[in-house]
Amino acid sequence: MTALRIVMASEARATVLSRAPLLDAPLPEAIRASILGTFGAPLTAAEVVTRIIEDVRREGDAAVRRYSQRFDGSADAPMEVMSEEFDAAEVEVPEALVRAIEFMAGRVRTFHSMQIDHAPTSFQRDGLGMVVRPIGRAGVYMTGNIAVLPSSVVHTAVPAVVAGVPEVIGVTAARPDGSVHPLKLVAARRAGVQRVFRASGAQALAALAFGTETIPRVDKIFGPGNLFVTLAKQQLYGQVGIDALYGPTETVVLADDSAAPDLCAADLLAQAEHDVLARPVLITTSEAHARAVAEAVEAQLATLERGAIARAAIERGGAVVAADIDEALALANEFAPEHLCLLTRDAASLVPRIQNAGGIFVGDDSPEVLGDYVAGPSHVMPTGGSARFASPLSVMDFLKVTSTIALTADDLRTIGPAAAMLARAEGLTAHARSIELRLEGH
């Protein structure tokens, strides 16, 4: 029996393509034990986050340090990463890897520089307009503790810098000795992050939202994280800007019988090795092809360093056999995946028919893994079906618009009477008098 289960399209919505709410997922036993040991009660994840946020609000740095060291198992260290640590990281990371990070950052910067050419711009016409400007200070959650993810730092921070955000700061988990992984520091420097602080989880987001003695308050928080980070974003929304709520990564490989089974398997496993909660899904038009991919998955699983993680994720996903490309596309659009990989004959012809996806990867030569690193668009993309209404992280997320109204006396005489009439119809006489006094004065 292979790890990749195969179902027909009629069963898919109730099995492979079903989604349970991320925030309702049961906590692993180790995390439940940690919560009990920390708080003395079997709290839910949401209750934990609420307590942490309130403690950071009251205690500032002390709470951030206490919770970060408790959950990361890290030694005490100054909260802010010093410039000497950045310099040491440059020496510790192999030069070839530094060049690869620089290459990635350059590609991401180039794409988002093109993107900003198509972003909203300020205008003024007939007394009306808008001013477009970047937010003042962005906070980047530098995700990754056990698995270090310098690519996420680059893909989150570079669009901020391109958008013109004057201050970009980062928060990150520390290692057991209190240091920050050098790959993160090299990536942060290349991405344009100006300051980095040792703070993780919900306590880091609360610090960014409120500000502490050491960590400055930001205008908006960006970047993916674990369940507790996601819950903190949800609870802090409105007190600080939030980019989105991100869940575990997910990929749909949409294929027909022309697709090489080993490539389909490789693309599924590339996402599966991220996290046991990842969702890798094959939608194919051939049951024989699905079986061939399942066999290729099984063969490749045996070769992976993170094979146990990948197997658990593959078992959460599966393969769906559709009657034809039309049904396959309908299922993919309904699922609205973070990543949609097209491995079909004339894959480019399907792109106009895709309504819901964070990113579309077209053909054999555009694997999703290139998007993770060096393709160019930010790999921070909508998950959990939110691609129905949300977009990948972009320069637009770091911009805000202010409307401007600068009318003349003639404009007031022309449009004022209608405004006064509408105000009186709504019973807002003070509104009406504000207009009428001016009209009387003219």
C-alpha 209/C-alpha 425 separation (Å) is: 41
Residues paired with 402 in a beta bridge: 131
Residue 350, token pair as written in the block: 């399907």
C-alpha 294/C-alpha 198 separation (Å) is: 42
The SS3 of residue 31 is helix
- Residue indicated by tokens 């408790």: 70
Q: Where are the beta strands (DSSP E) in 136-188?
A: 137-141, 167-172
Contacts 24+ apart (CB under 8 A), 36-41: 38/70
C-alpha 303/C-alpha 326 separation (Å) is: 35
Residue 340, token pair as written in the block: 């949609």
Determine which one of 155, 274, 339, 379 is catalytic: 339
The answer to whether 339 is a known catalytic residue is: yes
User: Cβ atoms within 10 A of the Cβ of 96, count?
Assistant: 7
Max distance between CA atoms of the chain, in angstroms, equals 86
The answer to whether 315 is a known catalytic residue is: no
Which of 334-366 are b and which e, b meaning 16 or more Cβ less than 10 Å from the residue's Cβ? ebbbbbbbbbbeebeebeeebebbbbbbbeeeb
CB 155 within 8 A of CB 143: no
Determine which one of 338, 431, 436, 440 is catalytic: 338
- Catalytic center residues: 338-339
